[in-house]
Amino acid sequence: MTASNVYPTADLRALDTAHYMHPFTDFKGLAKEGSRIMVKGEGVWLTDSDGKRYLDGMAGLWCTNVGHGRREITRAVAEQMDELAYYNSFFKTSNAPAIRLAEKLAEITPDHVNRVFFCGSGSEANDTVFRMVRYYWSLLGKPSKKVFISRKNGYHGSTVAAASLGGMTPMHGQGDLPIPGITHIAQPYWYGEGGDMSPDEFGIWAARELEREIERLGEANVAAFIAEPIQGAGGVIIPPDTYWPEIRRICDAHEILLVVDEVICGFGRTGSWFGADTYGVKADLQPIAKGLTSGYLPMGGVLVSDKVAAVVIDQGEEFFHGYTYSGHPTCAAAALANLAIIEKEGLVARVRDDIGPYLKERWSKLGDHPLVGEARMKGLVGALELTPSKPARREKFADEGKVGTIARDLSFKNGLIMRAVRDSLILSPPLTLTHEEADELVRLAAKTLDDTHAALKREGLI
Ligand SMILES: *Cc1c(COP(=O)(O)O)cnc(C)c1O
């Protein structure tokens, strides 16, 4: 019997408020409203402690790529725990699941990537990147190359280095971030910031911000550029097609490393194994997490290219960096079972050729709704930009974020989990979504838009 079956919801809520400090949460607001307590997951469906069912349009938190309740993973985890639940990878020791997972990752990554450094999360992966990149340049006798160029409104995690690499100003405001040695350039957010340029023109302009920043800082001081293929937490910002090829050109023309944060885009989300594959770019380092285990257990890592490995391994001494849970055998077993499902069910190709285009076609039609300024999607990640009036991009809602929150709450009420970013709704469902479930998802999203429209009229917001 699970705890949620033992205690009534009201008791759980009271205990939750009294003792549990939630991540990214306004504590007082939550205490007033009480949390929604999830008790069960099966496929793309979740059930809360009141018995209400939801279509999980966010795949947990961008991670449950194979859907909830997969016995293949829970069985693999139980078997591994019975055998060897934990051992570390320090001091010349290793374990079979971590070794096999490292080999599997080398197989599914492009030819120039053959190694992985394991850690416990996406944030730790980016802290690892931060240390490994600086170590790389000092080994090459270029210790002045220290600065990371990142992007405004990017997300790379919540630890000190990861939050600093990220470009979230509310996060920076709490605790004097970013730490020194990190600068942020414009994001390729055409809908919000493209002005009068066409998407293609704007993509080139935004990419060239990187070149201008390298020139401003001096190439001898720049270590790396880090970016998500598609910004997730920033609002599912799908860059114009011109953006990534220009970024890769700029990185090739200058002596800097390219770090592609695959924490969301990895493991099929965009219709390739990795976001870098979708955009045809060759990354030097790729942080991974989330879809690596589909969130069944926490695990992250950094995929390391041969170019970086050749320096860090061949020219380095001991790399004084690692985590107690690096290469955790049980987490690795979960990852292996998860990747086996993705392969067996052909989920990567399914996103590219089947469910991705199927959902995108229907999602795009939501763009005709009077409240929607843009309905974008790539692979199985998308957004609806809400607008007070059309033609879109001209006006924004006053009090940014208020309308998004209203829409998000109505979506939950309608039984579809979407998340709000500013005044947009974002979507990232499990890759196992069936056609019928996609139809239901779009029906619930359309109903949410109608309900939001009515609510805004009632409150005089449009
Ligand atoms: C979620 C996320 C992270 C941080 O991962 P955690 O496991 O929450 O530490 C890093 N980068 C991106 C792109 C993410 O979406």
Q: Is 264 in the pocket of ligand 1 (CB under 6 A)?
A: yes
Q: Which class would CATH give 72-344? A: alpha beta
Q: Give the predicted TM-score (pTM) of the model.
A: 0.97
* Domain definitions of the chain by residue range: 36-66+348-458, 72-344
- Ligand 1 atom 6: residue of nearest CA: 122
* Three-class SS state of 339: helix
263 within 8 A of 287, measured Cβ to Cβ? yes
**How far does residue 333's CA lie from ligand 1's centre (Å)?**
21
pLDDT tens sequence for the chain (462 residues):
454 566 899 999 999 999 999 999 999 999 999 999 999 999 999 999 999 999 999 999 999 999 999 999 999 999 999 999 999 999 999 999 999 999 999 999 999 999 999 999 999 999 999 999 999 999 999 999 999 999 999 999 999 999 999 999 999 999 899 999 999 999 999 999 999 999 999 999 999 999 999 999 999 999 999 999 999 999 999 999 999 999 999 999 999 999 999 999 999 999 999 999 999 999 999 999 999 999 999 999 999 999 999 999 999 999 999 999 999 999 999 999 999 999 999 999 999 999 999 999 999 999 999 999 999 999 999 999 999 999 889 889 999 999 999 999 999 999 999 999 999 999 999 999 999 999 999 999 999 999 999 999 999 999
| Cα–ligand 1 centroid distance for 126 (angstroms) | 9
How far apart CA 201 and CA 196 sit, in angstroms, is: 10
- Please report, to the nearest 10 degrees, the dihedral formed by the alpha carbons of residues 363, 454, 236, 438 taken in order: -30
Tell me how far the alpha carbon of residue 338 lies from the centroid of ligand 1, in angstroms.
Answer: 19
* Residue indicated by tokens 């449009």: 462
Structure tokens at 402: 């208020």
- Running DSSP on this structure, what letter comes out for residue 345? T
Residue 243, number of CB atoms within 10 A of its CB: 25
157 lines ligand 1 (CB under 6 A): yes
* Centre of ligand 1 from the C-alpha of residue 7, in Å: 32
Cα 156 to averaged position of ligand 1 atoms, centre (Å): 5
Q: For ligand 1, is residue 155 a contact (CB within 6 Å)? A: yes
Contact 339 CB / ligand 1 (< 6 Å): no
Residue owning tokens 């607001």 = 29
Closest atom of ligand 1 relative to the 298 alpha carbon: 7
Q: Tokens standing for 330?
A: 């049980």
Name the residue of 165, 226, 263, 274 to mutate for ligand 1: max ligand atoms within 8 A of Cβ: 263
State the fold for domain 36-66+348-458. Aspartate Aminotransferase, domain 1 (3.90.1150)
